[in-house]
Structure 1
């Protein structure tokens, strides 16, 4: 009977992790590695999104989106163009430009409603009856009622002292706002438009709009200078 041959045990070689190779090659920190890895993952994701757009719209590169503007009817007022693009554009770059611009508008939107939405959070029933019409008490959202709320005249004086508008807010402004909205629920027109742009973008591309993908489209189509290019793998 033959004696079985015993194979020598191969010593295990420890697998080096990417992070270890990165730290050794660059001398940077673990935070630097995770920042770098996040950027690598994001760029891979952007490449996949580009592929989806190109396949769906039959493009060689998303840079060609700059040459596919939506036709604007002759004589259309400038004030109607945004609505026209939201309803008709099939161009992700065009929608991304619109989304970026309207997002800035939404963040900087200042009106009676936005100010009251931020600073007026409650009112006592007694105060409402004093400055409004008690016959409308039943129409007011119950979340407004707060027996410990600051008096409306005091609150308006505080708001007006900040000079957020070029004209002071009145008791009528406050009462009308309370009658029409729930506390903190007001959405300005630019925010409503953003939602519609996002819905249109998803319908055109099949995926949700992302700020980093908007920046990518700007770079590809609008020749925005890129920030630092991703460093080559250090290993």
Structure 2
């Protein structure tokens, strides 16, 4: 087999910089997606039909179309309509954040509806305002139930982040292809980056289990 990993050694620092470049937009995207997804989840359980219809329609659009299509529309099509050149970083955040919010909204909605209805009825009987009831009573319990699903979404987002290389963002995947084009060898840099992704997912999985265990013992 014609393999020579020594040829990528000079480019390892360049590739490793892609870890922060990747995590930077993934973290911002997941925060954006969580906040928007929470708002959408509250709309879905709202008694206002317009809000519920909008949230369901939003979720249907972003879950029913490929993420790479959404990224391409934001990066290539939106500037055509607005005349504003959007950066690759902002395009990645918007595409991943908007897409993630659709999935997060379903996760949070399911978590809220899984909380015993008796607690909601008791809070309403005591005259506790809806906002305080959701913030102090319902949401903390829902978050404990949905934490594994949220971590899976974070992990999926980290792996799917590789598609931002298609718009030229210098993430891990893009840096691997750049190195491959310079040394005319693709197997070595791609395998190296694959190991980095694998290590990142392992770390995130362990962190998720640690947080889940601590929340469980805090009951």
Which has the larger Rg?
A: 1
> What TM-score do the two structures reach when normalised by structure 2?
0.29
Q: TM-score, normalised by structure 1?
A: 0.28
